[in-house]
Structure 1
């Protein structure tokens, strides 16, 4: 009799713990720069994702957290990863970085060389994956929306996006290829070859259409 009660107690506790685990929302942290920092504001891509989840009736299943800081480069993410990401015990981390690593080479003289960019990016993924965290990688989108390859940083953006694609493949990480998607969108919708105003406000930061565009792409990766 005592053994039967003991078995029933263990079974009940197991069912209870499983139920609690099932009810726990998937915690997703978006790790990046000013684009992600703005993503949690009104009309930002993370805010739009929360609204999309609510419309689908699955808002309680996901907890979306923005961890973006303006001006950040890949080594900034590495340095603050412990406090801003790992301390929160996320299930998924979306890495959206690279614009400043390229842009600041000419604007501030403080960009990130390709070998250092790859080294820090690799280290971030290794650390996250060692904690059992799923990592989603994103390529940097644009620094200028002209479609004739006349944006000053097009060459570097394409190169660094290639680096991220290779890293994502190496570590078996899902990829949100914003670089590819933004170029494709602009080729169809930027017929006047404008520098900004299609998906961005200032060649880099997202306007309302851009925030929705990124939200849609991110959502596919998260739900998948």
Structure 2
């Protein structure tokens, strides 16, 4: 039997070894030897790591970009995340548009990105870097999304000895990631290293000049997924904004009879339900009818051009608050065959006929519920690309929908209902009329984009 002093010394040694081991593990997880920018996705990953089958969390995850982002490597990343975090309710979305560089994606983002309000955005796009940055600036000022940026792989016409540290675009993306506190995955650097190690030409991983073959798809998925980790010692930057949980018994909720008021700072509030009650609530923002506030409405992306994957119109907006309805734009017979000048009529399923216009002129419908800028027409380009004429009576469709809930109805357990979204990022008063307890709501989640994002230069 060992003397007490020896046993004590051995115990101390064991404790020290355990601490050293855990520190080593934490260092590896935190990416101190690899990628410290993983800190910028830790708000969501901490939430994912804490999820259990009994208390599952929902994570909204969006991939956005062009044809490279539309390739199936994103499905492999999704599969990896689901396997590593099996109790998380992932809601994946990938509205990538092949051929749409940053100037075009700036326009469609108003339909695809900001209204969807992801928890995590994985983003890549070619085109002018200043407009690439404008999209990131908008994400920061209008949402609380944590952002993952990645640098481009090598195209077929690039030399294997390309230095990623000398590529202007790579340098610019690294700079954007640093200034906006985004996670950066330096795919280009890893891609070059892989090609050199395996003595491959860039074309070995490509189907054509730039698109990935099966091996390239698998490699890109691996390079992205392996860096999407939970690192408990790291913390998301305040530049990603704040997401605050407010339980129903919080003192920040003011109760007066059948009214409950939440004073909040931000631009989005979500109600979480336990599914146990059946009551309904009227929801009011700042004492004003929400349906009349234009910024609280959104539109789906306009439908595709003939025989194309691209939208016929990049963006449709409004001057006056719309209503929930389906819209149809019909090209009239006197339109030019190449769509250089389209004469059209717009009709709403609720509004009815709402005026006629021409594609080379700014159009505002009679009700003000439809606004189309001439620069947003993409139909002529698509017809030229496909070498076809404008089909007779061709129609373009979209929907308008609210970013608010005027009347809350009880939801199933774990449901997340958007009560308000896209109001100005400031102080607001959200009033719920009726029994909040009887509605099954257990908590609220307030989203506050960073006010600092507008100051980034």
Fold match, TM over 0.5?
yes
Structure 2 distance, partners of 1:172, 1:127, is 14
TM-score, normalization by structure 1 = 0.69
Contact 1:53 1:59 (8 Å CA) reproduced: no
Pick closer, same or farther for the CA change 1:57–1:171 going to 2, 3 Å.
closer
Q: Distance in 1 between matches of 2:84 and 2:223?
A: 16
Aligned position for 1:147: 160
Structure 1, unmatched stretches of 5+, are 1-18, 39-43, 102-111
CA 1:194 to 1:122, structure 2 compared with 1: closer, same or farther past 3 Å? closer
Q: Secondary structure at the match of 1:58?
A: coil
How many residues end up aligned between the 2 structures? Answer: 175
1:220–1:194 distance in 2 versus 1, CA, 3 Å: closer
Aligned equivalent of 2:131, options 104, 120, 136: 120
> Larger strand proportion, structure 1 or 2?
2
Please tell me whether residue 92 in structure 1 is matched to residue 120 in structure 2: yes
What are the equivalent positions in structure 2 for 1:11-160 lying under 5 Å apart?
A: 23-38=56-71, 44-56=72-84, 58=86, 60-98=88-126, 101=127, 112=128, 117=129, 119-130=130-141, 131-144=143-156, 146-149=159-162, 158-160=167-169
Q: SS of 2:60's equivalent?
A: strand
Please list the CA deviations of residues 39-75 of structure 1 after superposition, one character each: whole Å capped at 9, or x if unmatched. Answer: xxxxx11111232234335274433221211112112
- Relative to structure 1, the CA distance from residue 77 to residue 220 in structure 2 (aligned partners, 3 Å threshold; closer, same or farther) is farther
- Equivalent residue, structure 2, for 1:187: 196
**Distance change (3 Å), C-alpha of 1:94 and 1:57:** closer
- 1:45–1:214 Cα contact (<8 Å) kept: yes
Secondary structure of the structure 2 residue equivalent to 1:23? coil
For structure 2, list consecutive stretches of 5 or more residues without a partner in the other structure: 1-51, 231-457
State the Cα distance separating 1:148 from its structure 2 match.
3.6
Change in 2 beyond 3 A, CA 1:220/1:64: farther
Q: Distance in 2 between matches of 1:127 and 1:220?
A: 28
User: Following the alignment from structure 1 to structure 2, what is the Cα–Cα distance between the partners of residues 74 and 174?
Assistant: 19
Secondary structure at the counterpart of residue 128 of structure 1: helix
Aligned to 2:211: 205
Larger relative helix fraction: 1
C-alpha separation between the residues in 2 aligned to 1:63 and 1:220? 20
- SS of 2:110's equivalent? helix
In 2, the alpha carbon distance for the partners of 1:35 and 1:200 equals 11
Rg (Cα) greater in structure: 2
- Note if 1:172 corresponds to 2:181: yes
Checking the alignment, whether the CA contact within 8 Å between 1:30 and 1:67 is kept in structure 2 is yes
Any conservation in 2 of the 1:174–1:221 contact (CA below 8 Å)?
A: no
Alpha-carbon spacing, 1:136–1:180, altered in 2? closer, same or farther (3 Å):
same
Q: Distance in 1 between matches of 2:201 and 2:74?
A: 26
Instruction: Report the aligned-residue RMSD.
Output: 2.6
